[in-house]
Each structure stands twice: as C-alpha cells, then as structure tokens.
C-alpha cells in the first residue's frame, strides 16, 4: 500500500544540499517569506489600555490632545480633586468613583456612564447620557437622546457650550449632530415622591466657572474658547420657561450651506434679542411634510430627498415677523420654511417637534 506522504530526499554529503539545490531552497524560502499573508489585525497599531485610562489620580491635571483617542473607549476611575480633559472623540466613556473632579469630554459616539461619583463638574457631548448612584453633578450637556439619571440626587444641567478648532470635525466623526441636543429633557428612572433629584443650572452659568481652562502646558496648546457665542453647539433654552407666548418655526433643507445658514440665522435673531428654544436635525418623508408643513408641503417635498432638515424654534414677541424679514433679506435665494403668522406658528412648532421626537424615539 503506497504511503500518503512523499519521503524527503536525503541531503547530500555532510547534510548539505548540492550548491544548485541549496541556492534554490534559499530562494524558495525568501519568496515564501515575501508572500506570507498579512492580516488587518497584524497591521493595526497595538493598543495599550493605559493610554485610554485615568485611574487613581489625585490633585492632578491630565488630558488627551486631539487625535490621541481617535474613537477608542476610555475609562476614568478613582480620581479625586483632578482636572481631566479629553479633547477628542471616543466610542464610550465610563466614569466611576470620582470625587470633586472637573471633567471635559469631547464627542462620544455611544454612551457616557457616571457611577458612584460626587461633587463633579462636567462638560459632556454624547449620544447617550446616564448616571447611577451619583450625588451633586453639574453638567453642561449635549445629548442626542433623552438623558437618564438613576438613584442620583442633586443633579444640575445646562446647555453644552465649548469651542476649539478640531471640535466640529470630532462631532462629525462621532456621528453627532450639533443640532440634536436634549440637554434639559431629563428622565429620572428612580423618582422620589415629593422630591426633585435634578434641576437646571442658572441661565447665566458660564462654563469656565465650573470647568476652567486647562492649566498644564501640554493642554494649553488646544485653543479652547468658552465664549458662548463661539460654541460649536447652539445654546438653547430647552425646557426653561419661555419669555413670550410667540414662537416661530424655521426649517432649512439639506444643501451645501445648511449648517452655515442655520448658524447665521441664529446669530441674526440673537442680535435682535430673540431666544433659541430648541433645534433638531432629522430626515423627513413626503407624508411627514404634509403633517408638518400642511398647505406648503408640495413646495418642500422635492427638497427632502437631499438629506435631513434643520429646524429652529425662536421665541419672543414679534418672532414670526422678524424671522420672516431676516430670511427674506439674508437668504433670498434659498428655500426656507418659516411660520406664516403668530396664530399658526405654535401649531407649526408642535407639529414638527412631535414628529421629530417620534422619529428619534423620544
């Protein structure tokens, strides 16, 4: 019966192959080495968990510069009296057992979870925000979904306000829209009858009074501004009581300058004393347009195929007239939906934001 394996040829004298065969064998080995497969996991830079962790620190100022986290997960734990700055986007961040810390967290694609923390002041941008067993956190927040607190007390929230040159691109890399911010729509998972576990920071609250600019030489290289007018996130009133019973809905449709146009209108209206209540960026379909824009729907339906719309609610006496006037003057070549009258504007706002909240599962 024949053997399944061929026998190896015995080497020539002294265990050496003849010169020609020896050269051929060496060539084959070199070729084999060159053709060895390379896998994606071989090419990836090795990740050291220590680069993505701050643990057991006390009385220190630490941080990560733009580009140093690059979408990885990050862990912050057991820190006391520290100033911590993550000037980059990340996948998720957990903060455990931190006391009396001041923390800035750049855009987080997924969730940020605070557990067993107390007396901390934070600036946070994320998809999901959650706390458990925390006490006295003050947070300037941008959150795409409804923030949730659980078994937590003394929580205070304000609207995210921050700027540095790389921040806008980091929001994009994290898949977050600067117009989707439900910072004041808090859900208390464990409410206590007769008590309120959370509230809002004063309207006059300035972020630098809570989380100061970094003092270390390395982190000073990040050109941070806490000027509210420069904030990447438009500052909104959220669920604070409105100053007027008149609001106006304005909707910009997808195009090359949608974000710039929306920011321009926000600046124009703010300069005239009107307040931005809420903003939203969301995809719409034809049936949604009929529900929201009603008689004007047919005019705007063709624009919906280009991408998401950006909606703004302004509040103040005369908001509708001023908004229509500004849009006509500044955006005369651009199709924009603006409420027609004070009488219809309230319904416009309700129609749009009820639709948007359903779309986003709020």
CATH classification of the domain holding 195: 2.160.20.70
111 known member of a binding site: yes
Q: Are strands 247-252 and 336-338 parallel, antiparallel or unpaired?
A: antiparallel
Domain count, the chain: 2
Interval 270-298: pLDDT, tens: 999 999 999 999 999 999 999 899 888 99
339 plus 269 within the same structural domain: yes
Within a 10 A sphere around the Cβ of 15, how many other Cβ atoms? 7
259 plus 336 within the same structural domain: yes
The pLDDT value given to residue 38: 61
Interval 181-234: pLDDT, tens: 999 999 999 998 888 999 999 999 999 999 999 989 999 999 999 999 999 999
- What is the rounded average pLDDT of the residues 41-61? 82
Tell me: pLDDT of 240 over 70.
yes
User: Is 180 a domain residue?
Assistant: yes
184 plus 302 within the same structural domain: no
275 known member of a binding site: no
215 plus 265 within the same structural domain: no
216 plus 248 within the same structural domain: no
What range does the domain containing 329 cover? Answer: 242-361
How far is Cα 152 from Cα 187, in angstroms, rounded to an integer? 11
The pLDDT value given to residue 42: 57
Sequence-ordered alpha helix ranges (H) in 253-341: 258-271, 286-293, 297-300, 319-330
110 known member of a binding site: yes
The pLDDT value given to residue 122: 98
The pLDDT value given to residue 48: 80
Interval 56-104: pLDDT, tens: 999 999 999 999 999 999 999 999 999 999 999 999 999 999 999 999 9
The pLDDT value given to residue 171: 98
Q: Could you tell me the two tokens for 7?
A: 């026998």
> Taking Cα atoms as reference points, which of 259, 257, 212 lies closest to residue 233?
259
Report CA-CA distances (Å) from 65 to 84, 169, 234, 296: 11, 14, 24, 48
User: Is 5 a domain residue?
Assistant: no
How far is Cα 188 from Cα 130, in angstroms, rounded to an integer? 10
**CATH number of the domain within which 331 lies:** 3.30.70.141
- What is the rounded average pLDDT of the residues 46-63? 91
User: Is 99 a domain residue?
Assistant: yes
- What is the rounded average pLDDT of the residues 112-124? 98
How far is Cα 279 from Cα 236, in angstroms, rounded to an integer? 8
Average pLDDT, the chain: 90
Tell me: pLDDT of 45 over 90.
no
Tell me: pLDDT of 30 over 60.
no
- For residue 340, with 0-12 CB atoms within 10 Å meaning exposed, 13-18 middle and 19 or more buried, which class applies? middle
237 known member of a binding site: no
User: Is 16 a domain residue?
Assistant: no
User: Is 1 a domain residue?
Assistant: no
How far is Cα 115 from Cα 119, in angstroms, rounded to an integer? 12
352 known member of a binding site: no
79 plus 108 within the same structural domain: yes
User: Is 281 a domain residue?
Assistant: yes
């Amino acid at each position: 019966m024949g053997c399944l394996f061929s026998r190896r040829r015995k080497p020539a004298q002294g265990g050496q192959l003849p010169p020609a065969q020896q050269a051929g064998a060496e060539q084959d080995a070199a070729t084999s080495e060159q053709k060895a497969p390379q896998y994606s996991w071989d090419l990836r830079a090795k990740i050291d968990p220590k680069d993505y962790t701050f643990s057991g620190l006390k009385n220190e100022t630490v941080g990560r510069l733009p580009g140093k986290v690059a979408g990885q997960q990050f862990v912050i734990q057991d820190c006391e009296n520290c100033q911590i700055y993550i000037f980059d986007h990340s996948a998720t961040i957990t903060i455990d057992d931190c006391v009396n810390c001041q923390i800035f967290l750049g855009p987080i694609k997924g969730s940020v979870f605070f557990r067993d923390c107390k007396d901390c002041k934070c600036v946070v941008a994320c998809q999901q925000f959650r706390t458990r067993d925390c006490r006295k956190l003050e947070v300037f927040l941008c959150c795409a979904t409804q923030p949730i607190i659980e078994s937590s007390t003394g929580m205070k929230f304000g609207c995210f306000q921050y700027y540095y040159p790389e921040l806008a691109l980091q929001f994009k890399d994290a898949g977050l829209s600067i117009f989707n911010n439900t910072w004041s729509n808090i859900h208390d998972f464990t409410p206590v009858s007769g008590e309120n576990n959370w509230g809002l920071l004063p309207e006059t609250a300035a972020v630098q009074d809570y989380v100061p600019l970094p003092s270390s030489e390395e982190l000073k290289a990040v050109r941070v501004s806490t000027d509210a007018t420069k904030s990447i996130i438009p500052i909104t009133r959220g669920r604070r009581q409105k100053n007027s019973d008149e609001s106006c809905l304005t909707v910009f449709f997808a195009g090359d300058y949608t974000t710039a146009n929306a920011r321009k209108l926000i600046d124009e209206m703010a300069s005239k004393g009107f307040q931005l209540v809420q903003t939203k960026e969301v995809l719409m379909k034809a049936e949604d347009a009929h529900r929201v824009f009603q008689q004007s729907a047919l005019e705007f339906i063709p624009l919906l195929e280009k991408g998401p719309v950006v909606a703004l609610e302004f509040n103040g006496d005369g908001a509708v007239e001023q908004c229509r006037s500004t849009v006509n003057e500044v955006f005369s070549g651009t199709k924009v939906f603006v409420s027609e009258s004070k009488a219809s504007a309230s319904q416009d706002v309700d129609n749009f934001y009820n639709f948007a909240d359903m779309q986003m599962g709020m």
